[in-house]
């Protein structure tokens, strides 16, 4: 049952004369290059807000039915489709739960979309660091969350990332109990966990673990199209929201002209999991475990496994071959035509899904065997990776900083000034410096040292010669 896809199919079959958007009129006026990409049938499905196709901003028929089916399969009270990516879902849940100057615990390894949510809501973040082991950011310690609550009973929400990009989960069951005991709402960026519900060999999903909201990237690991995601919601811990207020928040940032092919892909991805989710993901886990086992037999390569790890995230460490993860990514891409998800100075990350095959896994293994044979195995190289010793001092909230007057100055002049911008390396898009935080020598040195590994810096000036700061008179 695919309500959106079915409604679109009926509309196409009825074949009404089109005096409506989009301008290509169901492909009649489309350029040949676009037809080559989407096909005539694909373009005919590029429909608009006709009566029988419902309205994403106020769903009542096919979209509402599809969202209900999604909520059911995930064990949520409600689901909201997003064509603004998980960024849109994250900011929707923040707008639904926070207001200006609300205090909120935020994991410091949060995605940059949460910076946008803090600017939109005006909430004041209290940052908490994940544990770090061999350059890998682990989960958030529940004891540290509780410690913050004990010193500040006015906290409105907790916002965490689980699983992380590398597949590490936090103990959300413990953290949800702590948050709810203090009357706080738990919001989870579950961008990398849309599949967790579909196998008991995977960590529990956020909703199953007691989260009130989960923003999940259906496109990252399931079968929907890029930029499609879902916001899942469940009333737990005595904290109650209704659909109308969440929808109202989502409508502030959601487009009023959603692409129905994107919406239908969410519908179809959910149906695929309904039909075969458990079988597909158990097979993906078997492939992942096989890949890890075989990597352990190749000289110079290491991978890891943990109880709190999503096994379908396979990271490969080649430091015993004298390679950073970034160098390993480059060799695989240009010498073997194999592309990983991302890399950092320590390791390269590979996502294994139900779409992968035994042949694809074997091609990756053969490439790794070839690299191993071509290089001398050495004692494990511990690259000197800088690490920030403390969270930067927050002078202004991100919203206050965003709306303050700013100017660009040289990096050397910026020490002791207040940043007017967010700076991160992408991927993974985790902010190093938030708007409103104090710029220190340590932060500048850290960014410069990390840039030596050729990771892309996202900043107003990506060469990091200048930085935007708050003008003194505007504090």
Which of 374, 408, 440 is the last residue in one of the domains?
A: 374
Instruction: Output the CA–CA distances (angstroms, integers) from residue 303 to 1, 291, 296, in the order listed.
Output: 40, 10, 7
Contact criterion met (CB below 8 Å) for 328 and 379: no
Residue 71 lies in a domain: no
Which of 374, 407, 422 is the last residue in one of the domains?
A: 374
Same domain, 305 and 367: yes
Residue 214 lies in a domain: no
pLDDT at residue 475, as a whole number: 57
pLDDT at residue 254, as a whole number: 94
**Count of domains for the chain:** 2
Residue 332 lies in a domain: yes
Same domain, 431 and 359: no
Instruction: Give CA–CA dist 106/35, Å, rounded.
Output: 45
Runs of H (alpha helix) within 228-314: 243-253, 260-295
Contact criterion met (CB below 8 Å) for 49 and 257: yes
Phi-psi region of 332 (alpha: psi -120 to 50; beta: other; left: phi over 0): alpha
Residue with tokens 């940043």: 419
CATH at residue 428: 3.90.100.10
Residue 326 lies in a domain: yes
Give the residue from 441, 443, 440, 399 showing the smallest Cα distance to 420: 399
pLDDT at residue 474, as a whole number: 60
228 Cβ partners below 8 Å, 6+ apart? 81, 82, 83, 85, 218, 219, 262, 263, 265, 266, 269
Same domain, 369 and 417: no
DSSP, residue by residue, 343-394 = E-SSEEEEE--TT--HHHHHHHHHHHHHHHHHS---SPP-------SSPPPB
Residue 20 lies in a domain: no
17 Cβ partners below 8 Å, 6+ apart? none
Same domain, 469 and 421: yes
Instruction: Give CA–CA dist 430/17, Å, rounded.
Output: 48
Instruction: Give CA–CA dist 46/412, Å, rounded.
Output: 52
Question: Whole domain around residue 428: which residue ranges?
Answer: 398-474
Same domain, 366 and 411: no
Beta bridge partners of 406: 470
Give the residue from 273, 237, 281, 284 showing the smallest Cα distance to 79: 273
Residue 268 lies in a domain: no
Which of 306, 339, 374 is the last residue in one of the domains?
A: 374
Residue 73 lies in a domain: no
Residue 340 lies in a domain: yes
Same domain, 410 and 448: yes
pLDDT at residue 132, as a whole number: 85
- What three-state secondary structure class fits 133? strand
CATH at residue 359: 3.90.1150.150
Instruction: Give CA–CA dist 3/204, Å, rounded.
Output: 28
- What three-state secondary structure class fits 135? coil
pLDDT at residue 49, as a whole number: 78
pLDDT at residue 240, as a whole number: 87
Beta bridge partners of 408: 468
Same domain, 431 and 470: yes
Contact criterion met (CB below 8 Å) for 124 and 103: yes
Instruction: Give CA–CA dist 3/353, Å, rounded.
Output: 26
Contact criterion met (CB below 8 Å) for 409 and 383: no
Neighbours of 418 (CB within 10 A): 25
Instruction: Output the CA–CA distances (angstroms, integers) from residue 358 to 336, 352, 362, 385, in the order listed.
Output: 17, 11, 6, 35
pLDDT at residue 188, as a whole number: 98
60 secondary structure, DSSP code: -
Same domain, 404 and 436: yes
Instruction: Output the CA–CA distances (angstroms, integers) from residue 15 to 8, 45, 399, in the order listed.
Output: 11, 11, 48
Q: Whole-model pTM above 0.85?
A: yes
Runs of H (alpha helix) within 75-104: 85-97
pLDDT at residue 50, as a whole number: 83
Q: Which residue numbers in the chain have pLDDT < 70?
A: 382-384, 473-475
Same domain, 364 and 422: no
pLDDT at residue 383, as a whole number: 65
39 Cβ partners below 8 Å, 6+ apart? none
Same domain, 366 and 406: no
Instruction: Output the CA–CA distances (angstroms, integers) from residue 227 to 123, 222, 256, 286, 347, in the order listed.
Output: 26, 12, 15, 28, 26
- What three-state secondary structure class fits 24? coil
Instruction: Give CA–CA dist 330/369, Å, rounded.
Output: 16
């Amino acid at each position: 049952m695919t309500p959106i896809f079915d409604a679109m199919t009926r509309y196409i079959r009825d074949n009404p004369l089109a005096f409506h958007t989009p301008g290509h009129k169901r492909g009649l006026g489309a350029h040949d290059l676009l037809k080559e990409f989407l096909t005539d049938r694909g373009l005919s499905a590029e429909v608009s807000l006709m009566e029988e196709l419902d309205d994403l901003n106020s769903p009542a028929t096919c979209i509402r039915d599809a969202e209900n089916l999604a909520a059911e399969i995930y064990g949520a009270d409600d689901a909201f489709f997003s064509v603004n990516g998980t960024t849109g879902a994250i900011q929707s849940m923040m707008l639904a739960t926070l207001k200006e100057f609300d205090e909120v615990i935020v994991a410091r390894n949060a995605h940059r979309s949460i910076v946008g949510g803090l600017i939109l809501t005006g909430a004041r973040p209290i940052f908490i660091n994940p544990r770090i082991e061999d350059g890998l950011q682990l989960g958030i310690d529940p004891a540290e969350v509780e410690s913050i609550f004990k010193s500040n009973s006015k906290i409105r929400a907790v916002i965490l990332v689980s699983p992380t990009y590398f597949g590490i989960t936090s103990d959300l069951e413990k953290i949800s109990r702590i948050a709810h005991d203090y009357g706080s709402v738990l919001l989870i960026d579950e961008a990398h966990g849309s599949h967790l519900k579909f196998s008991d060999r995977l960590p529990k999903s956020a909703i199953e673990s007691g989260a009130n909201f989960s923003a999940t990237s259906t496109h990252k690991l399931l079968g929907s199209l890029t930029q499609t995601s879902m916001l899942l919601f469940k009333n737990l811990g005595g904290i109650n929201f209704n659909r109308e207020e969440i929808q109202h928040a989502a409508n502030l940032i959601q487009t009023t002209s959603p692409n129905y092919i994107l919406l239908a892909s969410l519908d179809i991805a959910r149906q695929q999991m309904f039909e075969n989710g458990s079988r597909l993901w158990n097979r993906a886990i078997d492939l992942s475990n096989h890949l890890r086992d075989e990597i352990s037999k190749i000289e110079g390569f290491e991978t890891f496994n943990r109880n709190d790890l999503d096994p379908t995230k396979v990271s490969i460490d080649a430091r015993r071959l004298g390679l950073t993860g970034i160098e390993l990514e480059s060799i695989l891409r240009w010498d073997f035509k194999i592309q990983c998800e991302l890399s950092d100075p320590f390791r390269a990350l590979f996502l294994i899904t139900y779409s992968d095959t035994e042949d694809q896994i074997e091609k990756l293994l053969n490439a790794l065997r070839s690299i191993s044979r071509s290089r001398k195995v050495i004692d494990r190289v511990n690259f000197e990776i800088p690490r920030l010793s403390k969270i930067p001092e927050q002078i202004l909230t991100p919203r206050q900083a965003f709306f303050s007057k700013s100017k660009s100055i040289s990096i050397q002049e910026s020490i002791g000034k207040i940043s007017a911008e967010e700076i991160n390396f992408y991927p993974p898009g985790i902010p190093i410096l938030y708007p409103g935080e104090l710029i220190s020598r340590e932060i500048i040195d850290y960014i410069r040292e990390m840039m030596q590994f050729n990771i892309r810096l996202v900043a107003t000036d990506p060469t990091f010669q200048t930085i935007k700061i708050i003008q003194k008179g505007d504090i």
